[in-house]
Copies of this chain bind each other. A is one copy, B any other.
Amino acid sequence: METDASFKVALSDVVVANRILALEGVLDAFGHCSVRDPRNPNRYLMSRSLAPALVTADDIVQHDLDNNAMSHPGQKLYYERWIHGEIYKSRPDVNAIVHSHSPTVVPFASTKAPLRPLLHNAAFLGFGTPVFEIRNFIPDSDLMISSAALGKALAEALGPTAQVVLLRGHGNVVVGPTMEIAVYRAYYTEINARQQMNAMTIGPNDVVYMNPGECTTTDKIMQASAERPWNLWKRKVQREMRRAAAEDAI
């Protein structure tokens, strides 16, 4: 049955996404990846509350768009799951979401320096890199998206076209039409941040960024190219998982 096959792919994809981004240093012990349920656009698939590097298919919980568990009763859910439901509600074009504390993106979230598209792989940054300042909503918060209201405010900050939103003092959220593309974008958001910081160091007044036309053209071809790093990373992840399993079996 087609629906079942696409569900199995989605399940595998969200596990692989967690493992890839943990291995590549975009996710640490925190953060999460989700994918819209291909069987029902009002549901999404995401791990129970767990470090990304440890997620397996058995940990993937079906959530409704109000972020309630529709499977795995009694499991602890991510504290910031509100990010996911609210973005899936407001952005029908989005089928996958990554929330991370991507290390070199945090400095951009915490200064007035805007993150801008420098490297062609990060053309999607040209569609906007808004910064969400939680202080405008709650004073003295824990900086986390811990309610439907904050989730909604974050989705509004992301707006209708951006593919990334930065969270001051905290991290970022990256979206895409597929899990592969969201992972690709989460990775190259980090790489672009590093290269932009380096460019600002060596030539603070003359950095050349991609212009809007270049971003539109380039993003199209990059979306079509996201499969290549995905497949490469997936092999690394599968090897890592086999190695860990073999070692745990000693």
> How many residues of A are in contact with the other chain, CB < 8 A?
72
Does residue A74 face the partner (Cβ distance < 8 Å to B)? no
* Of B28, B119, B144, the contact of A169 (CB 8 Å cutoff): B119
Does residue A1 face the partner (Cβ distance < 8 Å to B)? no
Chain B residue numbers with a CB within 8 Å of A200 are: 201-202
Give the docked Cα–Cα distance between A139 and B213 (Å): 8
Chain B residue numbers with a CB within 8 Å of A106 are: 118-119, 195, 199
Q: Mark out the residues of chain A between 212 and 239 whose CB falls within 8 Å of any chain B CB in the assembled complex.
A: 213-214, 216-218, 220-221, 225, 228-229, 231-233, 235, 239
Does residue A110 face the partner (Cβ distance < 8 Å to B)? yes
Q: Chain A interface mostly helix, strand, loop or mixed?
A: helix
Chain B residue numbers with a CB within 8 Å of A198 are: 104, 107, 197
Give the docked Cα–Cα distance between A170 and B106 (Å): 24
Give the contact stretch, choosing among A36-44, A89-97, A147-155, A241-249.
A241-249
Please determine whether B143 and A210 come into contact, CB atoms closer than 8 angstroms. yes
* Of B54, B194, B206, the contact of A111 (CB 8 Å cutoff): B206
Please determine whether A202 and B111 come into contact, CB atoms closer than 8 angstroms. yes
Q: Taking beta carbons and an 8 Å cutoff, which residues of A are in contact with B?
A: 28-30, 50-51, 53-54, 79, 101, 103-104, 106-108, 110-113, 118-121, 123, 135, 139-144, 168-170, 191, 194-203, 206-211, 213-214, 216-218, 220-221, 225, 228-229, 231-233, 235, 239, 242-244, 246-248, 250
